[in-house]
Amino acid sequence: MRLLANPTLRLFIGAALISLSPVWVKLVDVPPSTSGFYRVLFGSAALVIYLLVTRKRMTLSRRAWLMLAVAAIFFALDLWFWHRSINYVGPGLSTLLANFQVFIMMLAGVVLLKQFPRPIQVLAVPMALLGLSLIVGLDWNNLPDEYQLGVIFGLLTAVAYAGYLLSLRQARQDSPYKVPTREMAVVSIICTIIMAATVLGEGESLSIPSYADFGWLVAYGVLSHSLGGLFIASSLPQVTTAEAGLALLLQPTLSFVWDVVFFSRPMTAVELLGACIALVAIYLGARPASKQV
């Protein structure tokens, strides 16, 4: 427990736990929306139990509740797009694409907040696009339809996740709490309802076919969604900008590693170069953002 008192260690453990998210999705034999439902169901249950055991009071303003509902809608969209992207292009690339939210946030900062990027951030945008083009291949039209769709879904995940982060930021504008445990719990509960309606609306089943699938889904919700998120959220106010930026880089890097190790993803030298370029671009683009955490 003394080790977990170290905020830097919590930060990197949290990033490692979240990096396993696409692995759980790939392992389970359930439809994409169903795995998203169980992520937030088990995750919200873990968060609620934590709040009850620690006797945290739920004091949120009406505006915060509204913005958290908006955040939950964006998060549900994030899960819908991302889980399909994982199935089409694999855990590594789908997670890398989701982290392009850095550049969506940069654009939102210019349009909504009049916060103009630094020159190094502007340079990071073409770098990221170059890296992506090296990974997916320069001849887009010859890629399989499902692969193209997976890339598009991955980029839409980035848009949805940026909307979630912006909404959560608005919800926490006047919050007296350092760690957004309450907000995470509220978003997870609302998102559970949305995802349940989505699964039923798509005509899919909420049944879990095996005990192994049940275990993967519990791990997804408890370890990656709630514990990973809490470790990162609790450590951010106490770590340096460089450490926060490295943690942001660690998640997609490890997801690529898990994709190669667990699912034998083929990786050419050109794809590896593209992944490295994209990861560096994400790091450069996120550095100022990490100062505002």
Residue 290 has pLDDT above 70, yes or no: no
The DSSP call for residue 179 is S
For the chain, which residues make up each domain, given as ranges? Answer: 3-291
The DSSP call for residue 236 is G
Q: What is the pLDDT of residue 241?
A: 66
pLDDT in tens, 129-159: 888 888 887 677 788 899 999 999 999 999 9
Whether the Cβ atoms of residue 61 and residue 174 lie closer than 8 Å to each other: yes
What letter represents residue 36's amino acid? G
Burial track 11-28 (b if 16+ CB lie within 10 A, e otherwise): bbbbbbbbbbbbbbbbbb
Q: Which of 6-15, 39-48, 141-150 has the highest mean pLDDT?
A: 39-48
Whether the Cβ atoms of residue 253 and residue 15 lie closer than 8 Å to each other: no
Structure token digits, residue 242 = 């460089």
Structure token digits, residue 244 = 């926060």
Give the Cα separation of 141 and 259 in Å (integer).
25
Whether the Cβ atoms of residue 75 and residue 183 lie closer than 8 Å to each other: no
pLDDT in tens, 197-248: 999 999 999 999 999 999 999 999 999 999 998 888 888 777 776 677 677 7
What letter represents residue 132's amino acid? L
SS3 label, residue 128: helix
Residue 3 has pLDDT above 70, yes or no: no
Positive/negative CA dihedral, 253, 92, 265, 195: positive
Give the Cα separation of 269 and 252 in Å (integer).
18
pLDDT in tens, 95-136: 999 988 888 888 887 887 777 778 888 888 888 888 888 888
Give the Cα separation of 22 and 86 in Å (integer).
7
